[in-house]
């Protein structure tokens, strides 16, 4: 199995980035839990999630409902934080960040190919039942193409979610239970998540008076700042 990046190891090993080794333990590692599907390290500092059986691994095949691949971290997130990753959907229609996961409930940011939209809202995952998500609170038009790499950035500040794709501001969403919890990844079909990074936000990046009517400092058309990896145990 190929190795993951030190930045990913900051989550997977719950250690300090400044002391992260050049190679990391194979996924999932002690601080990750495979909830559904198959997860394995891939090249370019990535991880692949898929729920395809051998006879399904053909063009345009996908899986849904309780067949989605789900990976959950066991490392708590700070109250205000930023998540960045790059994704490629190889087969299937959905890539998702499951933010602030509390037991069965989580706040979601979904890139969904069937109706060409991105969503933010609340989801519920109760095994062995399928995901019973609430209707999406916020949505934005979005073209999801298989085989194309997208760069995602999501800020969580004072229970406000602000999302960018490829440096373009896409949507905002408020959720009273957004702070804290753990991070999860979900895939419909076969999806690669590359260069997963988490950065805690300080009072400058997340002002205490920031509210839902505001937008974060990233201007339209500008790339989000490069985040530093988080240190959970220092």
Per-residue model confidence (pLDDT) at position 152: 95
Domains of the chain: 6-200 (2.60.120.560)
Per-residue model confidence (pLDDT) at position 219: 34
Please write the tens of the pLDDT for every residue from 22-76: 234 445 567 889 988 899 989 888 999 998 776 666 555 567 666 789 999 999 9
Please write the tens of the pLDDT for every residue from 77-110: 999 999 999 999 998 889 999 999 988 899 999 9
C-alpha 87: how far from chain center: 9
* 227 pLDDT above the threshold of 80: no
Please write the tens of the pLDDT for every residue from 9-35: 444 433 322 222 223 444 556 788 998
Residue 66 DSSP SS3? helix
CB burial of residue 36 (10 Å; 0-12, 13-18, 19+): buried
**Ramachandran angles phi, psi of 128, nearest 5°:** -90, 10
Considering only the C-alpha atoms of the chain, give the largest distance between any 2 of them, rounded to a whole number of Å.
53
Please write the tens of the pLDDT for every residue from 141-170: 999 999 999 999 999 999 999 999 998 888
How far is residue 86's CA from residue 74's CA, in Å, rounded to a whole number? 21
């Amino acid at each position: 199995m190929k190795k993951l990046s030190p930045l990913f190891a900051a989550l997977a090993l719950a250690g300090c980035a400044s002391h992260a080794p050049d190679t990391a333990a194979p996924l999932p590692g002690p601080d990750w839990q495979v909830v559904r599907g198959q997860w394995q390290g891939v090249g370019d500092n990535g991880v692949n999630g898929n729920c395809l059986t051998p006879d399904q691994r053909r063009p345009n095949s996908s899986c849904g409902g309780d067949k989605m691949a789900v990976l959950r971290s066991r490392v708590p997130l700070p109250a205000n934080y930023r998540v960045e990753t790059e994704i490629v959907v190889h087969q299937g229609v959905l890539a998702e960040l499951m933010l602030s996961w509390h037991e069965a409930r989580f706040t979601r940011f979904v890139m969904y190919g069937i109706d060409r939209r991105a969503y933010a809202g609340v989801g519920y995952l109760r095994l062995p039942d399928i995901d019973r998500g609430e209707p999406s609170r916020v949505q934005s038009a979005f073209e999801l193409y298989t085989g194309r790499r997208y760069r995602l950035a999501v800020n969580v500040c004072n229970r406000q979610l602000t999302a960018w794709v490829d440096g373009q501001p896409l949507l905002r969403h408020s959720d009273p239970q957004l702070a804290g919890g753990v991070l999860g990844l979900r895939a419909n079909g076969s999806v690669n998540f590359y260069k997963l990074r988490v950065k805690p936000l300080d009072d400058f990046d997340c002002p205490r008076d920031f509210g839902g009517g505001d937008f974060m400092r990233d201007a339209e058309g500008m790339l989000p700042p490069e985040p530093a990896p988080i240190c959970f145990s220092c």
